[in-house]
Amino acid sequence: MSQALVHNRHQSARVGARRQSDVVSPHGAIGGARTLFRIVGRAALVQTYEVALMASLAATVPLHLAGDRFDAGVSAPAKSHSAPTARPVLLVHGLGGTKSSWSFLARTLTARGLTVDAITYSPFGTSVEQVADRLAVKVERLLSQTGADKVHLVGHSLGGVVIAQAIASGRLTGLVDTVVTLAAPFGGSPWANLLPFGAIVSALRQGSPLLQRIASAPVPDGMRWMAFTATHDTIVPGRRSVPPHVNVETVTVGGVGHLGMLVSPQVVGRIVAALSAHG
Residue 137 CB coordination number (10 Å):
12
Would you place residue 123 in the very low, low, confident or very high pLDDT band (cuts 50, 70, 90)? confident
Beta pairing partners, 250: 227
Residue 257 amino acid letter: G
**So where are the chain's domains?**
60-277
d(CA 230, CA 127): 26
Contact 272, 111 (CB under 8 A): no
- Of 104, 113, 109, the closest CA to residue 86 belongs to 113
d(CA 265, CA 102): 13
Q: What is the pLDDT of residue 247?
A: 85
Would you place residue 261 in the very low, low, confident or very high pLDDT band (cuts 50, 70, 90)? very high
Architecture of domain 60-277: 3-Layer(aba) Sandwich (3.40)
Collapsed DSSP state (helix, strand, coil) of residue 107 = helix
Task: Determine the average pLDDT of the residues in 13-30.
Answer: 39
d(CA 250, CA 248): 6
d(CA 74, CA 107): 7
Burial 46-56 (b: 16+ CB within 10 A, else e): beebbeebeee
- Of 122, 259, 127, 131, the closest CA to residue 202 belongs to 127
Beta pairing partners, 153: 90, 179
Task: Determine the average pLDDT of the residues in 111-133.
Answer: 94
Q: What is the pLDDT of residue 68?
A: 41
**Phi-psi region at 42: left, alpha or beta (left = phi > 0; alpha = psi -120 to 50):** alpha
Q: What is the pLDDT of residue 96?
A: 84
Contact 223, 178 (CB under 8 A): yes
Q: Kindly state the DSSP code that residue 236 receives in the 8-state scheme.
A: S
Residue 88 CB coordination number (10 Å):
24
**Is residue 75 over pLDDT 90?**
no
Q: What is the pLDDT of residue 196?
A: 63
How many CA within 13 A on the CB side of residue 92?
31
**Is residue 195 over pLDDT 80?**
no
d(CA 232, CA 238): 9
Tens of pLDDT, residue by residue over 205-238, are 999 999 999 999 988 989 999 999 999 999 999 8
H-state helical runs in the chain: 3-14, 26-60, 103-111, 128-146, 158-168, 199-203, 209-216, 265-277
DSSP β-ladder status, 116-119 and 89-92: parallel
Contact 234, 258 (CB under 8 A): yes
Tens of pLDDT, residue by residue over 138-188, are 999 999 999 999 999 999 999 999 999 999 999 999 999 999 999 999 999
Residue 269 CB coordination number (10 Å):
11
pTM of the model: 0.75
